[in-house]
């Protein structure tokens, strides 16, 4: 028996996060997401050229219609479901599981990496589009951009955590995620205001009010409620993901 | 030598002994495979271990113990080898029985991986990492203080220095196998589990890998590798476990098992210029125990294939019969294993 080495060094987290980021970046669909992230920026340029800028217009046309409805959920669901999904599909998850690393660290590293990447992509698009269109709006423009950035941060953390956990239960996490985005958030939450408490979109919209009250009619949660529910969702999802990873079984394969 | 809970199967026999006993058939379900000089307790222990998925039984009532040394886990595809290795690696809980590695259950105990190295069957390795990055990544996750030094040392051991700065995605299949082994070895584990490690390797690398496994075992490690090719086992270790349909069909010295495989009843179909005359000549020889004239030719049953090969040439010449075709009818690996199970 060799000398016992410390197990569960926190240094494992950046190592796994780094490899996860490279794995997610290397996927072809990430290129499509980058292209998608240019959409708000291009729209901002178009509106600026048409002299149709202002917090009200920008929030309605770009933030609500494009960034919150399409860009944020799509990017975060793809990164969240892919953080473990890619490893499971490709079989490389075995290299993580066969290590003396506590499972919560693996989950935390994956979640951090995927969330950071989602924030980077959606945040960059938000800040750039805001800078182009809301520059002339003065302090209001700056606060509105910061509030929108906070939405992206909160939304990214929630979507990634939820769909990262789901990907450990099913290989269809991405399909379920897109269904959730289109049906639950896109249709049902509009028709049934009562389900706002179960909508990540509502959490992200509500959290923005911590900085600035954006003119979004749909936002139904107070800032405090939105932040609290977001925190509960993230913690719960990561705990469930850790629980599942501890029980994760590799099939026997062809032999 | 391992401790010997089942002395009727294997005595405490060193690996170098030429003809240790062999257990086949149902008796083999409980076996202690000696490997090398004495250790206090077996590194690997299975006691009536079973694993099933719904109605499908992948591993059925398997018991054995392994000590220091190299052991080959042999069996056809679908025999349950990977399931067994995954149970040993802690990735699957046994549905029944007990699995222990270094005295404890590996299931849901990540700390056991300080002493286990695993080379999975699947080829996938992070294609964007260089060989050195990958091995260093493994070393860091093992909490090694000198991860870079350990990674470079292991890379050199596997002969990958020239390609260690290249992305693994550009590696050949054999190189990927080697870098996987390097990743599993970097923390100097006591137990090494390898699932079909020679897949995709060219003969030179295969021999080098086999020699490496032998050297690692001599240094005091317990190594279990799976294969569906008997010849792969030959060079690496003298001990094998044969699995068929989820059961342990045979265990012991590979040479003895190989003899069993070679000298089992063989069915051979022969077409000749005069099948009837050839049949009369063949049935007089002791190596032939059944001859049948069929529409496809002469069906011959022999217990000694090598002796029969010599016999058929001589007999046909003496009888003045021209041989048109000699075809072994049941040479698939599965049929060989099936024979071992039935025996």
Give the closest of B128, B140, B195 to A11, CB-based.
B140
Task: List pLDDT tens digits, range B250-270.
Answer: 888 777 776 666 666 778 889
CA dist., res. B255 & res. B193, Å (int): 22
Task: List pLDDT tens digits, range B57-89.
Answer: 999 999 999 999 999 998 888 889 999 999 999
The confidence band for B335, taking pLDDT boundaries of 50, 70 and 90, is: low
Residue percentage of chain B with pLDDT more than 90: 47
Angle at alpha carbon of residue B149, lines to B205 and B170, rounded to 5°: 45
CA dist., res. A149 & res. B302, Å (int): 81
Residue B271: pLDDT above 80?
yes
Task: List pLDDT tens digits, range B307-319.
Answer: 787 888 888 889 8
Q: In chain A, where are the structural domains located? A: 12-246
The confidence band for B44, taking pLDDT boundaries of 50, 70 and 90, is: very high
Residue B340: pLDDT above 50?
yes
pLDDT of residue B252: 83
CA dist., res. A72 & res. A161, Å (int): 14
Give the closest of B83, B113, B142 to A252, CB-based.
B83
pLDDT of residue B341: 60
**B126–A6 CB contact, under 8 Å:** no
The confidence band for B31, taking pLDDT boundaries of 50, 70 and 90, is: low
CA dist., res. A208 & res. A152, Å (int): 9
- String of b and e for B303-338 (b: at least 16 CB within 10 Å)? ebbeebeebbeebbeebebeeeebeeeeeeebebbb
**A95–B140 CB contact, under 8 Å:** no
Paired strand residues for B194: B119, B225
Q: Which B-chain residues 110-139 have CB contacts (< 8 A) with chain A?
A: 110-118, 120-129, 137-138
CA dist., res. B164 & res. B170, Å (int): 11
Q: Taking a C-beta distance cutoff of 8 angstroms, is the pair A155, A147 a contact?
A: no
β-strand pairing of B44-53 with B56-66:
antiparallel
Which uninterrupted H or E stretch holds A205? helix A200-207
Q: Which B-chain residues 171-210 have CB contacts (< 8 A) with chain A?
A: 183-184, 187-188, 190, 195-196
pLDDT of residue A149: 96
pLDDT of residue B16: 29
Which residue, B233, B318, B120, is CA-closest to A97? Answer: B120
Give the closest of A101, A250, A253 to B110, CB-based.
A101
* Weakest mean pLDDT among A24-33, B108-117, B323-332: B323-332
Q: For residue B137, what is the nearest residue in chain A, using CA coordinates?
A: A15
Question: Chains A and B: how many Cβ contacts under 8 Å?
Answer: 124
Q: Mean pLDDT, to the nearest integer, of B102-109?
A: 92
Q: Taking a C-beta distance cutoff of 8 angstroms, is the pair B329, B267 a contact?
A: yes
CA dist., res. B111 & res. B101, Å (int): 12
Q: Taking a C-beta distance cutoff of 8 angstroms, is the pair B67, B222 a contact?
A: yes
CA dist., res. B212 & res. B198, Å (int): 12
The confidence band for B93, taking pLDDT boundaries of 50, 70 and 90, is: very high
**B140–A26 CB contact, under 8 Å:** no
The confidence band for B237, taking pLDDT boundaries of 50, 70 and 90, is: low
pTM of the shown model: 0.81
pLDDT of residue A253: 55
What letter does residue B184 receive in the DSSP assignment? H
pLDDT of residue B74: 87
Torsion sign over Cα B179, B180, B181, B183: positive
Average model confidence (pLDDT) across chain B: 82
pLDDT of residue B309: 78
**Both tokens assigned to B230:** 């008997």
Q: Taking a C-beta distance cutoff of 8 angstroms, is the pair B245, B341 a contact?
A: yes
Q: B144 touching A, CB under 8 A? A: yes
Domains of chain B are 22-253 (3.40.50.300), 263-342 (3.30.70.920)
Contacts of B196 in chain A (CB under 8 A): 255
* Mean pLDDT in order along chain A per 10 residues (255 residues): 53 94 88 93 90 81 91 96 92 94 96 97 95 84 93 98 97 94 86 84 94 85 95 98 93 57
């Amino acid at each position: 028996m060799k000398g016992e080495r410390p197990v569960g060094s926190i240094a494992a987290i950046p190592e796994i996060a780094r490899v996860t980021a490279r794995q997610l970046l290397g996927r072809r669909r990430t290129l499509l997401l980058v292209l998608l992230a240019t959409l708000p920026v291009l729209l901002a340029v178009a509106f600026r050229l048409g002299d149709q800028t202002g917090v009200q217009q920008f929030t309605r046309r770009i933030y609500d219609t494009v960034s919150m409805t399409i860009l944020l959920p799509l990017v975060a669901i793809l990164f969240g479901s892919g953080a473990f999904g890619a490893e499971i599909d490709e079989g490389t998850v075995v290299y993580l599981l066969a290590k003396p690393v506590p499972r919560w660290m693996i989950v935390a590293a994956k979640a951090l990496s995927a969330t950071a990447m989602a924030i980077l992509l959606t945040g960059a698009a938000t800040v750039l589009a805001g800078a182009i269109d809301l520059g002339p709006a003065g302090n209001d423009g700056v606060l509105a951009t910061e509030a929108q950035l906070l939405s992206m941060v909160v939304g990214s953390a929630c979507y990634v955590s939820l769909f990262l956990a789901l990907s450990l239960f099913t290989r269809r996490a991405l399909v379920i995620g897109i269904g959730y985005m289109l049906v639950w958030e896109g249709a049902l939450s509009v028709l049934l205001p009562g389900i706002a408490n179960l909508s990540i979109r509502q959490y992200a919209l509500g959290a923005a009010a911590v900085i600035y009250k954006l003119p979004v009619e749909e936002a139904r949660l107070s800032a405090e409620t939105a932040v609290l529910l977001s925190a509960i969702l993230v913690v719960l999802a990561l705990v469930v993901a850790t629980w599942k990873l501890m029980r994760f079984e590799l099939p026997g394969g062809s032999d | 030598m391992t401790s010997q809970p089942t002395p009727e199967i294997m005595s405490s026999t060193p690996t170098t002994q030429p003809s240790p006993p062999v257990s086949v058939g149902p008796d083999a379900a409980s076996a202690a495979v000696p490997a090398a000089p004495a250790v206090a307790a077996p590194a690997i222990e299975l006691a009536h271990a079973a694993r099933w998925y719904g109605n499908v039984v992948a591993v059925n009532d398997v018991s054995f113990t392994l000590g220091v040394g190299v052991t080959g886990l042999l069996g056809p595809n679908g025999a349950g080898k990977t399931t067994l290795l995954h149970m040993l690696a802690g990735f699957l809980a046994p549905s029944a029985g007990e699995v222990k590695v270094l005295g404890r259950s590996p299931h849901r105990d990540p700390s056991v991986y300080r002493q286990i190295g695993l080379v999975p069957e699947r080829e996938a390795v992070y294609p964007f990492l260089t060989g050195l990055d990958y091995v260093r990544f493994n070393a860091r996750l093992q909490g090694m203080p000198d991860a870079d030094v350990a990674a470079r040392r292991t890379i050199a051991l596997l002969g990958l220095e020239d390609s260690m700065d290249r992305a693994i995605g550009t590696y050949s299949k054999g190189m990927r196998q080697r870098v996987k082994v390097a990743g599993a070895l970097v923390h100097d584990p006591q137990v090494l589990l390898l699932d079909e490690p020679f897949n995709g390797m060219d003969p030179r690398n295969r021999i080098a890998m086999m020699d490496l496994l032998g050297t690692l075992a001599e240094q005091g490690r317990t190594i279990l590798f799976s294969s569906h090719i008997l010849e792969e086992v030959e060079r690496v270790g003298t001990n094998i476990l044969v699995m068929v349909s989820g059961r342990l069909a045979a265990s012991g010295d590979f040479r003895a098992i190989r003899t069993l495989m070679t000298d089992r009843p063989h069915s051979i179909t022969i077409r000749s210029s005069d099948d009837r005359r050839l049949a009369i000549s063949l049935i007089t020889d002791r190596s032939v125990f059944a001859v049948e004239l069929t529409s496809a030719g002469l069906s011959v049953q022999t217990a000694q294939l090598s002796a029969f090969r010599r016999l058929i040439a001589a007999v046909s010449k003496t009888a003045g019969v021209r041989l048109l075709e000699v075809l072994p009818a049941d040479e698939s690996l599965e049929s060989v294993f099936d024979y071992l199970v039935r025996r």
